[in-house]
Structure 1
């Protein structure tokens, strides 16, 4: 059985829980260690009690850097009694630094896998700070045996032209995890009853101020013909007034957090459309990602809404599903929803449902395939790689900007 030390940037992140469950389903033994974000504690995941490395805060880079330094200093004590793993997975850049320290603490040549599912805006700056950050990533990742990411656009726009990471790349989409034989049945269309509104669901990590404001103005403009249902974890560093804001909204409701994947069928069954737009890092990470809510929504038959020029729009256009806005404005949304009737909705629903669950959900066989790939990485001899020089990276930046 493959022994994995999984280093997580946020122990309370539902995506971390999903990854641990998936690795276990693939027949790996997982030890979990990581940070608490904003004081939220990480609960045990399928009997795996996490090792607490300290607390970090959203949108506070220097605080997080200090927490990483402190965790590295204390790591020998933190990992005391932990059996030497066959492989270390570092989720995000800050955990890559801790992974390097863990290898030194545990001795030997433990392979490191770098899992990067978001490209932080500091890595994309064109000034000296951006160059320093990319150099740090390249230095910390020079011994990584595998890079795991979730969107082709991350590879095309960052890892190949800009990043100094020189490792094989595994594309691992953010699919819904379905491990049990009693998985939810195929979704059914849910047209609103006479007099009821269409409902848009915005679920997951809630961090986009522009989306919140846009949905507020749009729902008010529709005067009750469209309602917005919000669920998940608000990022209060970005949405400081979220609770007060929501109390004043006549056509938007916030229904709190939910369990992923246990509650997905229930919450998506309440809506017909899924807000798959994100402006948090507009034009950069937000344009390149394929969000969890895209896969979740399609798995449960909700019609995704995307904005032109993004990887999400390219993805749903390639599958001939969903709605793509030329520009995310109130007028465009009002025009779009003024033309949608039950027949149009049912046709769009049928296009999604007709593709089955395969494009949107990962089962036990997918988990086993992932662990087999990781086992190959753990057993392979350490490759000899040439780290990109600063001059090469600068040249690639110039090519990208031409």
Structure 2
């Protein structure tokens, strides 16, 4: 979005994989080290190293007008080298330690409390991150809500071609695959459905949560895993699905209750029906837009999906297709607005 909005972007950060994604690699980022899921101590030490020795980063970003940090660790690093330039903080997740009560949580919250007052602009993707967290923290900067909408070319909305209403029905679980409770639920659903329910899984499994995800999926009847995907694969993936699984019990009641994930907007952009819990932020978003398959608890989802008919699928699809494109899609106009807002950051008191 930044480049499409007219900004020149200089990248630096930690890498999770041995091979960078092509979109990142072609921008030739400065690599600060390796990161991994559930490796908090290693991440803290790597962050501290950059905070204490920021000279290389200062040279790397010497010609940049604005410094933007995409998580709390990066905010600490950015604070050490930003100087008098505007500092933008983008927060797309609230880690459990930021809302916990233990010693480690209080330590992380203390760090956040020291860093937030220096931010000139907060960018976040869900209003619940503001109401449930940042509104109660020492943040003086204005906030900008940038939802995780599907980014398309200006004036070129993707065709909505939902799967033909029928049984067996197909549920898609896409994205970052890190919720073991979701896997267990969908596994049991696929087994109990005895062919009435198919589960299509695609994305990047967390090695910390699923040491051998492909093998685990391969043992489940009526469930298949297609591996990682790209933006270009989305129409085909969602086009195979009647429903899209948006429930995430990872950090249940915390981050998962506050976020508005990419898969919500992607599903509706292609005419799939999001499955969501009614009493969390995703459910509230869908309620406002009169769309989605909302349930109060997993047992309700299991019971109703096993009894789903083509007629009800068609009715739910009709409501999904009625959601306005601008509510789920972003284009160059949104990109330019984002860059303009970042460019105006910096009026610190």
| TM-score bracket for the superposition, by shorter chain length | over 0.9
CA drift at 1:247? 1.7
Contact 1:89 1:112 in 2 (8 A): yes
Q: Which residue of 2 aligns with 1:64?
A: 43
Structure-2 separation of matches of 1:94 and 1:299: 33
Q: Larger RCO: Structure 1 or Structure 2 (Cα < 8 Å, ≥ 6 residues apart)? A: 2
Q: Which residue of 1 aligns with 2:148?
A: 174
Contact 2:4 2:335 in 1 (8 A): yes
> Which residue among 351, 354, 357 is the counterpart of 2:322?
354
> Which residue among 246, 251, 271 is the counterpart of 1:281?
251
Q: Which residue of 2 aligns with 1:126?
A: 101
CA drift at 1:254? 0.5
Q: Secondary structure at the match of 1:24?
A: coil
Alpha-carbon displacement from aligned partner over 1:36-94 (angstroms, at most 9, x marks no partner): 11544343449422111111121011100111122334542255354421111100100
Flag the 1:298–1:46 CA change in 2: closer, same or farther, 3 A. farther
Number of residue pairs matched? Answer: 349
> Which residue among 62, 71, 74 is the counterpart of 1:95?
74
Q: Which residue of 2 aligns with 1:216?
A: 187
Flag the 1:82–1:287 CA change in 2: closer, same or farther, 3 A. closer
TM-score by length of 2: 0.94
Q: Which residue of 2 aligns with 1:48?
A: 27
Q: Does 1:382 align with 2:348?
A: yes
Q: Secondary structure at the match of 1:84?
A: coil
Q: Does 1:259 align with 2:259?
A: no
Structure 1, gaps ≥5 residues long: 1-21, 384-402
Contact 1:189 1:346 in 2 (8 A): no
Structure-2 separation of matches of 1:230 and 1:76: 43
Structure-1 separation of matches of 2:48 and 2:105: 20
> Which residue among 60, 63, 77 is the counterpart of 1:84?
63
Q: Which has the larger displacement, 204-213 or 118-127? A: 118-127
Q: Which has the larger displacement, 368-377 or 70-79? A: 70-79
Q: Secondary structure at the match of 1:30?
A: coil
Structure-2 separation of matches of 1:80 and 1:43: 25
Flag the 1:184–1:308 CA change in 2: closer, same or farther, 3 A. closer
Q: Does 1:155 align with 2:124?
A: no
Counterparts of 1:2-401 in structure 2, within 5 Å, are 22-45=1-24, 47-78=26-57, 80=59, 82-103=61-82, 108-161=83-136, 163-179=137-153, 182-185=156-159, 187-191=160-164, 197-260=168-231, 262-329=232-299, 332-377=300-345, 380-383=346-349
Contact 1:54 1:71 in 2 (8 A): no
Contact 2:162 2:238 in 1 (8 A): no
Q: Secondary structure at the match of 1:258?
A: coil
Alpha-carbon displacement from aligned partner over 1:187-212 (angstroms, at most 9, x marks no partner): 1232256xx51000000010000000
Contact 2:2 2:9 in 1 (8 A): yes
Contact 2:196 2:306 in 1 (8 A): no
Structure 2, gaps ≥5 residues long: none
Alpha-carbon displacement from aligned partner over 1:354-385 (angstroms, at most 9, x marks no partner): 223111010100111111111111xx4322xx
Structure-2 separation of matches of 1:269 and 1:75: 47
